[in-house]
Amino acid sequence: MSIVDNKKAFFDYFIEERFEAGLVLEGWEVKAIRAGRVHVKEAYVVIRQAELFLIGCHITPLLSASTHIVPDSTRTRKLLLNAIEIKKLIGKVEQKGYTLVPLNLHFSKGNVKCEIGLARGKKQHDKRAATKEREWEVQKGRIARGDLNA
């Protein structure tokens, strides 16, 4: 069950491969994610000392959050992957033009997981072609329904 999708990632990048990573979260963060108070649109993944970190993911704390902690809504969160997968990603990211982007957050067996994608940036003309293709699909649907006025 998907919690939130990063639609901007699919518009800005070609997704080459996908990986499912666990997240190191605090209790209030899990509660806020279950309530749907999370945004990954501006988030990105970095590699530091052979570990992956999610930066820029905004989790808005609930009003009923505990009083003995100070929630930091945009803190850096560690991603959990197998060592073999991390080494593979490090090798790919060091190649020119590849980056890691979060694609979505979802539940898997009661745990919050982050699907990350090994991505290559799109050029402006690629984005225009994708938009043109999407608009043509909408037009084809309208023509098939006989709705020529729209």
Q: How far apart are CA 15 and CA 70, in angstroms?
A: 36
Q: Is 74 helix (H, G, I), strand (E, B) or coil?
A: coil
pLDDT of residue 150 exceeding 60: no
Question: d(Cα 104, Cα 50) in Å, to the nearest integer?
Answer: 22
Predicted confidence (pLDDT) per residue in 94-125, tens digit: 877 788 999 999 999 989 999 999 988 877 77
Q: Enumerate domains of the chain plus CATH numbers.
A: 1-121 (2.40.280.10)
Beta strands in the chain (DSSP E): 2-5, 13-23, 38-39, 44-48, 51-55, 58-59, 77-80, 98-108, 111-121
Per-residue pLDDT at 131: 82
The 10s digit of each residue's pLDDT in 122-147 is 777 777 888 888 888 888 888 888 87
- Given a cut of 60, whether residue 21 has pLDDT beyond it is yes
Tell whether the model's pLDDT for residue 87 goes beyond 70.
Answer: yes
Could you give the count of Cα atoms lying within 13 Å of 46 in the half-sphere of its Cβ? 8
